[in-house]
Structure 1
Amino acid sequence: MKVIFGTDPIKYPLTGIGRYAYELANCLTKSSEISELLFLQGRRLSKQIPQARESSSSSQGLRQMVQKSKVASELYRLTAPWLKTLALKKHPDAIYHGPNFYLPPKVGPSVATFHDLSVFTWPQCHPQERVRFMQKELLLTMKRADILITDSDFTRQEVMDYFSLPASKVYSAKLASSGEFYPRDPESITAVVSQYGLQAGQYCLFTGSIEPRKNIETLLSAYERLPLSLRKAYPLAISGFKGWRSESLHVRFEQAEREGWLCYLGYTKSSDLPYLFAGARSFLFPSLYEGFGLPVLEAMASGVPVVCSNSSSLPEVVGECALTCAALDVETLTLLIHKSIEDETWRGSAISGGLSRAKTFSWQRCAAETIHAYQQV
Structure 2
Amino acid sequence: MLFGVTCRLHAAVGYMRIILDVTRNCLDGTEKAGVYWYIYHLALRLLSLGDGHDFVLFANFLKGRHLAECRKFLSQFNGARMETKISRIPPQVFRDWLVPIELAAGKFDIFHGLDDLVPRVSRGKSVVTIHDMAYMRTPDSLRPEWVEFKKRHTTRSARQADKIVTVSEFSKKDICTYLEVAEEKVAVIYHGISPIYRMLEDRDAVARTLQKHGIEGPYILFVGTFQPNKNVERLIEIFGSIKRDHRIPHRLVLVGARGWFFNTIFRKIAQLNLEESIKCMGYIPQEDMPSFYNGADLFVLPSLLEGFGIPVIEAMACGIPVVTSNACSLPEIVGDAGLLFEPTNREEMKKALLAVLSDNALSQALRERSLKRAHEFSWETAATKTMEVYKTVVNG
Same fold (TM over 0.5): yes
Task: Name 2:120's counterpart in structure 1.
Answer: 105
Q: Do 2:41 and 2:379's aligned partners in 1 also have CA atoms closer than 8 Å? A: yes
Task: Name 1:50's counterpart in structure 2.
Answer: 74
User: Quick one: which amino acid aligns to residue 133 of structure 2?
Assistant: L
Q: Distance in 1 between matches of 2:45 and 2:18?
A: 13
- Secondary structure in 2 aligned to 1:9? helix
State which of 8, 19, 42 in structure 2 corresponds to 1:4. 19
Q: Distance in 1 between matches of 2:255 and 2:376?
A: 27
Confirm whether residue 145 of structure 1 aligns to residue 161 of structure 2. Answer: yes
Q: Do 1:7 and 1:50's aligned partners in 2 also have CA atoms closer than 8 Å? A: no
CA 1:141 to 1:259, structure 2 compared with 1: closer, same or farther past 3 Å?
closer
Deviation at 1:253, TM superposition (A): 2.7
State which of 143, 159, 176 in structure 2 corresponds to 1:127. 143
Q: Do 2:102 and 2:121's aligned partners in 1 also have CA atoms closer than 8 Å? A: yes
Q: Distance in 2 between matches of 1:51 and 1:116?
A: 29
Q: Distance in 2 between matches of 1:43 and 1:157?
A: 32
Q: Distance in 1 between matches of 2:273 and 2:212?
A: 16
Provide the TM-score with structure 1 as the length reference. Answer: 0.87
- Equivalence map 1:1-377=2 (5 Å): 1-11=16-26, 13-33=31-51, 35-42=53-60, 50-51=74-75, 76-79=90-93, 81=95, 84-88=101-105, 90-91=106-107, 93-107=108-122, 108-184=124-200, 185-199=202-216, 202-228=218-244, 233-254=249-270, 258=274, 260-377=276-393
Task: Name 1:62's counterpart in structure 2.
Answer: none
Task: Name 1:60's counterpart in structure 2.
Answer: none
Provide the TM-score with structure 2 as the length reference. Answer: 0.83
Deviation at 1:41, TM superposition (A): 1.8
User: Quick one: which amino acid aligns to residue 151 of structure 1?
Assistant: V
Q: Do 1:10 and 1:50's aligned partners in 2 also have CA atoms closer than 8 Å? A: no
- Secondary structure in 2 aligned to 1:111? strand
Q: Which blocks of at least 5 consecutive residues in structure 2 are unaligned?
A: 1-15, 63-69, 78-88
Deviation at 1:258, TM superposition (A): 5.0
Task: Name 2:85's counterpart in structure 1.
Answer: none
Stretch deviating more after TM superposition (367-376 or 352-361): 367-376
User: Quick one: which amino acid aligns to residue 346 of structure 2?
Assistant: V
Q: Distance in 2 between matches of 1:34 and 1:327?
A: 47
Q: Distance in 2 between matches of 1:125 and 1:267?
A: 21
CA 1:301 to 1:189, structure 2 compared with 1: closer, same or farther past 3 Å?
same
User: Quick one: which amino acid aligns to residue 268 of structure 2?
Assistant: R
Task: Name 2:8's counterpart in structure 1.
Answer: none
Q: Which blocks of at least 5 consecutive residues in structure 1 are unaligned?
A: 54-74
- Secondary structure in 2 aligned to 1:119? helix
1:58-117 Cα distance to aligned partner (Å, 9 max, x none): xxxxxxxxxxxxxxxxx95524655954123x21x4200010011123453100000000
- Secondary structure in 1 aligned to 2:257? coil
Q: Do 2:61 and 2:91's aligned partners in 1 also have CA atoms closer than 8 Å? A: no
Moved segments of 4+, more than 6 Å: none
Q: Distance in 2 between matches of 1:51 and 1:249?
A: 37
Q: Distance in 2 between matches of 1:25 and 1:216?
A: 32
Deviation at 1:144, TM superposition (A): 2.2
- Secondary structure in 2 aligned to 1:171? strand
- Secondary structure in 2 aligned to 1:268? coil
Aligned length: 352
Task: Name 1:69's counterpart in structure 2.
Answer: none
Deviation at 1:255, TM superposition (A): 5.1
User: Quick one: which amino acid aligns to residue 92 of structure 2?
Assistant: L
1:155-182 Cα distance to aligned partner (Å, 9 max, x none): 1122123333223211011001211111
1:265-310 Cα distance to aligned partner (Å, 9 max, x none): 1221222112111111100100001000010110000111011001
1:29-79 Cα distance to aligned partner (Å, 9 max, x none): 1224452111102279x9x971579xxxxxxxxxxxxxxxxxxxxx95524
CA 1:43 to 1:259, structure 2 compared with 1: closer, same or farther past 3 Å?
closer
CA 1:298 to 1:127, structure 2 compared with 1: closer, same or farther past 3 Å?
same
1:161-212 Cα distance to aligned partner (Å, 9 max, x none): 3333223211011001211111113211101111232236x10000111110
Calculate percent identity across the aligned residue pairs: 27
